[in-house]
Amino acid sequence: MSADDTIVRAAFQGERGAFSETAARQLLGARAETVPFRTFEEMFDAVAASEADCAIAPIENSLAGSVHKNYDLLMEHNLEIVGETNVRVVHNLIVPADVSLADVKRIYSHPVALAQCERFLRSHSEIEVVSAHDTAGSVRMIVEKGSCDEAAIAGAEAARVYKAQILVEGIEDNAENFTRFLLLTPPHSAIRVEGSNGARKTSLILRISNRPGALFRALAALALRDIDLTKIESRPIEGRPWEYSFYLDFLGDRREEKVERALGHLAELAESIRVLGSYPRSL
């Protein structure tokens, strides 16, 4: 078995059949041995403790926005971003075998999934809606209970894993629903993924002094070199009320000359700078 074929233990939050597990397959293919964890904290800790080789972390959704917990955990852990992928989120109404829509009295799913299916749920207002900790876990629960009047909202993979049936496909309000996932590894890990288009992206955490124009000058270090900033996210600094760290994503690799110069310029302006990784860009 070559190095590229080595089995990789990939931690993800959720249960079998979750969208995070789909992301692991997209990033790692047949190499992925997926390992579920209940919380994001447990997932990050597993990689730090070498109980898993990498983690698959959702970082933002095109409709719901950023996953702030994972931005904070990136700050707390010494992990590197080595890849990313975008997963098209398709929500389906899933039931145990031989259950019809007329039978359904309760629907379970994660609160974000429920919020993204409001039109469908409003059109069936007679059905009780119940929040659960996980989309795929909701499918597992109703199947294990043998429910004849309950359904779950989740992805098609959850229906396959738990041998349930998809009653109604694509019930999300907006078809342009994507979640971006990061592949995180310990520093100097051999795990890498290949991009399909050669484009690269770099992510970093920037902390600057709280004074007028500081952020403007920092961002100018990128703009002056025609480096395309694709995302900026602020997170509070613990113990320093109303001060923030900034997470930046931009196009380019830290080994490129203009990116090296921009990073050097940023280092002169910042209290601290930490490059989280340069990795293949997912379109």
Contact 247, 203 (CB under 8 A): yes
Structural Rg of the chain based on CA atoms? 21
Among residues 115, 21, 45, 71, the alpha carbon closest in space to that of 236 is found at 71
Catalytically active residues are: 179, 181
Angle between helices 68-76 and 40-48 (to 10 degrees): 20
* Residue 121 main-chain phi, psi, to 5 deg: -65, -35
**C-alpha span between 131 and 134 (Å, rounded):** 9
DSSP string, 113-158: HHHTTHHHHHHTTTSEEEE-S-HHHHHHHHHHHT-SSEEEEE-HHH
Cβ proximity of 87 and 181 under 8 Å: yes
Cβ-contact 127, 117 below 8 angstroms: no
Residues in a beta bridge with 150: 106
